[in-house]
Amino acid sequence: MSTPLVPLDDAFVHAAPYPVSHPPTSASNDPRFFERYWNVWHDDTGDLLLAVGGSCYPVLGRVESYAIVNFRGDHRSVRSFRPLSPEQADLTVGPIRPTILTGLHRWRHVLEPGEWGFSYDLEWTDTRRPTYGAAWGPPVASGERQVTVGFESFGQVTGWVQVGGTRVDWAPGQAHGTRDRHWGVGRGVGGPALNGGRVHRPGWKGGIWIDLHDVGLWGRKLLYGFDDPRPGSGSVHRIERRLRFEPDTHLFLAGVIDLTFDDGTHRSLRLERLGNQTAFMRCGFYGGTPGAGLHPGAYKGPERTEWDRFDVNDPHVRLALRGLDEHHCAVIDGTRATTGILQPVEPDAYEACREGRPGWALW
């Protein structure tokens, strides 16, 4: 059965793991049910990288958001929490204030200034056509199956970012990135308390988010432009990675990724991390926040805003923060150059290459 997306799917209005166009169904009562927006934005010079996201947990009655900036190795983040309001679609949490301007196409993202030391006012515009997808977990004997549904896109970012005493203005064409809008029953939501005492690994060890000019590479999904005559989205049938890592931290440094698309064509991408331009997603709840170890959906106190700052040019700091990591990379695709994001779970990706698991090798 076809389940097309509609602009309202960009809003936090879902009660079950299906899009708005799906026939009515029972609302989820699993405490791990979530709505999430997630973004990574960057320039092409390797100076400025942001990761921004937020989640709502309607059964738990909790909302949280985070913003992370890395400006030439100065890694700052702010996290904010509040109880769920009667208006579930309200995305504001503390100083983090996103607004949907046009569903499935345009958002405005604002971070108010404060003691966290950075702020921004940015507008996002999708340039790749979003398509609905669902990734279901295995059947379970009782309760609800884990599932992540929703869509992804690539796009352009304009506006300004203030980091300390430095303001960076992004004019059209100077910054771009990727986003997702997912919802479902999340593995790991609520931390060990809601997952039988287990701490789940944060994410997938092989994420690749790169706009290759003619197509957007979002993991194993290929995203087309809005005016592309091909229907829906495409897929990557095979991924072979040869990667190099820092010897002391086992964080990604460079590599070659060979791809086989669904039409039989091949691409070979050469990636190199740009300095220490990494967004360490532990600062956004993935794998547990630094210090407190808060996992997505685990905070159950009153309204609160917290922040931290790290010098990730120091390898000891990088080692302490590693986990789910968004590495800003220079990318060579044949004769074309761009930048994009490689998102491994670390040191899992290094271990996969060292052990020579299928599709993984040291370079």
List pLDDT tens digits, range 92-139.
999 999 999 999 999 999 999 999 999 999 999 999 999 999 999 999
Q: What is the pLDDT of residues 140-176, one digit of tens each?
A: 988 899 999 999 999 999 999 999 999 999 999 999 9
Confidence of residue 251 (pLDDT cuts 50, 70, 90): very high
Residue 233 lies in a domain: yes
Residue 1 lies in a domain: no
Residue 2 lies in a domain: no
Considering its fold, how many domains does the chain have in total? 1
Classified as helix, coil or strand, 294 is coil
User: Is the pTM here over 0.95, yes or no?
Assistant: yes
267: DSSP letter? E
Q: What is the pLDDT of residues 329-359, one digit of tens each?
A: 999 999 999 999 999 999 999 999 999 999 9
Classified as helix, coil or strand, 350 is helix
Confidence of residue 88 (pLDDT cuts 50, 70, 90): confident
Residue 271 lies in a domain: yes
Residue 235 lies in a domain: yes
Confidence of residue 197 (pLDDT cuts 50, 70, 90): confident
Residues whose CB is less than 8 angstroms from the CB of residue 16 and which lie 6 or more positions away in sequence, other chains included: 22, 25, 26, 27, 28
Q: How many helices (H) and strands (E) does the chain have?
A: 2, 21
Residues whose CB is less than 8 angstroms from the CB of residue 75 and which lie 6 or more positions away in sequence, other chains included: 68, 69, 278, 279, 280, 283, 309, 310, 311, 312, 321
Q: How far apart are CA 360 and CA 255, in angstroms?
A: 11
Whether a cis peptide bond, with omega within 30° of 0, leads into 347 is yes
Beta strand 96-102 pairing with 106-111:
antiparallel
Residue 201 lies in a domain: yes
Domain span at residue 109 reads: 7-362
Q: How far apart are CA 129 and CA 123, in angstroms?
A: 18
CB atoms within 10 A of CB 168: 17
Q: How far apart are CA 296 and CA 288, in angstroms?
A: 8
Q: How far apart are CA 297 and CA 319, in angstroms?
A: 25
Length of the chain (residues) = 363
93: DSSP letter? B
| Token digits of residue 289 | 């926040």
Residue predicted with more confidence, 24 or 236: 236
Residue 183 lies in a domain: yes
Confidence of residue 1 (pLDDT cuts 50, 70, 90): very low
Q: Does residue 2 register a pLDDT over 60?
A: no
Q: Does residue 194 register a pLDDT over 90?
A: no
Q: Does residue 199 register a pLDDT over 70?
A: yes
Q: What is the CATH number of the domain that holds 101?
A: 2.40.370.10
